Chains A and B, each alone.
Chain A
Amino acid sequence: MVNGKRLLIIIPALNEAASIGDVVGEIRGELPGVDVLVVDDGSTDHTAAVAAAAGARVARLPYNLGVGGAMRLGYRYAHDHDYDLAVQVDADGQHDPRYVPKLVDLLDDYDLVIGARFAGEGEYTVRGPRRWAMGMLSVVLSGLAGATLTDTTSGFRAANRRMIDMFARWYPVEYLGDTVETLVHAARRGYRIQQVPVAMRRRMAGTPSHSPAKAMIYLGRALAVLTLALIRR
């Protein structure tokens, strides 16, 4: 319960046994009374067991569906269990749960609130093609949403009931679909989107998923995904 509303934290996790325990523990410490759902997406390590031991509810997918697939399951869970609010948090410890109340506070006036890096707080930086890709996404999506969105690929997001209802029915599994396409889709249908500046921390464990070599490919795919999202209905 937060301000008398039922809040579900959804954590998509793939092989995050090294950090998921601390992440769940920290959330439960900082935000007493909220429920945590870890969606274990076919991990080959002990992610599910560690998360359950830390006090989270765990939904295990029989094989890997990707972040989008895991998130739709999470939103369906929120929808079916009648939660008022749902917040997506990464399993690697990069998102500080102390920002959750800040995000949630805006959910009375907005449907989707993004915890954004590069928005003043923290010193997370990226360079090169990846930065151009993020810049391009930011300009186009800010225009669509009618709000300044500096970090469109952030996995730190809060949704209210209206948004949960939509995401439980429709959530893409394609590459960048879980971030970019959902924003395009929501903004076009009149859902109100806003961002809150957050400081991002380093991963607690494991390896980052992006190498500089992949940055150029990322730019190309981001362009393709965005174009596709824009022509799609």
Chain B
Amino acid sequence: MKLTLVTGLTGLVLLATIVELLRRRQLREKYGMLWLGLLFVVIPLSLFPRLLDGVADLLGVASGVSLVLFLGIVFLLLVCIHLSWEVSALEEETRTLAEEFALLRAEVEADRMERAEWARHPDRTEMVSRDG
């Protein structure tokens, strides 16, 4: 009974945390939905830990509790993989941004040099803009 209380309360605190983070726009919708979905599985299980005993039996796992542990680890692994994937995408995007920025800077600097040159020798602009 005490155990149920501890697990149940943990689940509810997690739920409240996620909802609050979503409410404050600190969490993107897609991640929020992921964790909320998980909690809808976890909270009933934390209140009734024996819920999965039947399924466990069917799969040849000794008890529902160890099945939950196993599934939990698999889920966390999947989340880790997903996050690495997201980070890779982000790295690719910052790389593109840096390139974009460097190209823009090159263009601006070439432009500035050209204008400076023009200010010094208004008559030689043609040559400079082509070769310099």
Q: Which A residues have a C-beta under 8 Å from some C-beta of B?
A: 62-63, 174-175, 177, 224-225, 228, 231-233
Residue numbers in A under 8 Å from B19 (CB-CB): 231
**Is B106 located at the chain interface by the 8 A CB criterion?**
no
A228→B21 CA distance, assembly (Å) = 11
Question: Contact partner of B23 among A63, A177, A224, A233, CB < 8 A?
Answer: A233
Please tell me if the beta carbons of A63 and B93 are within 8 angstroms of each other in the complex. yes
Q: A233-B23, A233-B24 are in contact. Are A174 and B96 (CB under 8 A)?
A: no
**Closest Cβ of chain A: how far from B74's Cβ, in Å?**
24
A224→B29 CA distance, assembly (Å) = 9
Interface residue tally of chain B, by bracket?
10 to 19
Please tell me if the beta carbons of A228 and B96 are within 8 angstroms of each other in the complex. no
A232→B25 CA distance, assembly (Å) = 7
A175→B97 CA distance, assembly (Å) = 23
**Closest Cβ of chain B: how far from A220's Cβ, in Å?**
10
Interface centre among B19, B25, B97 (most CB of A within 10 A): B25
**Is B100 located at the chain interface by the 8 A CB criterion?**
yes
Q: Which B residues have a C-beta under 8 Å from some C-beta of A?
A: 19, 22-25, 28-30, 32-33, 93, 96-97, 99-100
A228→B93 CA distance, assembly (Å) = 28
Please tell me if the beta carbons of B22 and A232 are within 8 angstroms of each other in the complex. yes
**Closest Cβ of chain A: how far from B34's Cβ, in Å?**
12
Residue numbers in B under 8 Å from A63 (CB-CB): 93, 96
**Closest Cβ of chain A: how far from B124's Cβ, in Å?**
32
**Closest Cβ of chain B: how far from A222's Cβ, in Å?**
12
Residue numbers in A under 8 Å from B24 (CB-CB): 232-233
Please tell me if the beta carbons of A231 and B96 are within 8 angstroms of each other in the complex. no
Residue numbers in A under 8 Å from B97 (CB-CB): 62
Interface centre among A62, A224, A225, A233 (most CB of B within 10 A): A62
Residue numbers in A under 8 Å from B33 (CB-CB): 224
Q: A231-B19, A233-B24 are in contact. Are A225 and B100 (CB under 8 A)?
A: no
Q: List 6 A-B contacts (CB under 8 A).
A: A177-B29, A228-B29, A231-B19, A231-B23, A233-B23, A233-B24
Please tell me if the beta carbons of B29 and A225 are within 8 angstroms of each other in the complex. yes
Q: A232-B22, A233-B23 are in contact. Are A174 and B28 (CB under 8 A)?
A: yes
In the complex, residue of chain A having the shortest beta-carbon distance to the beta carbon of B96: A62
A199→B40 CA distance, assembly (Å) = 43
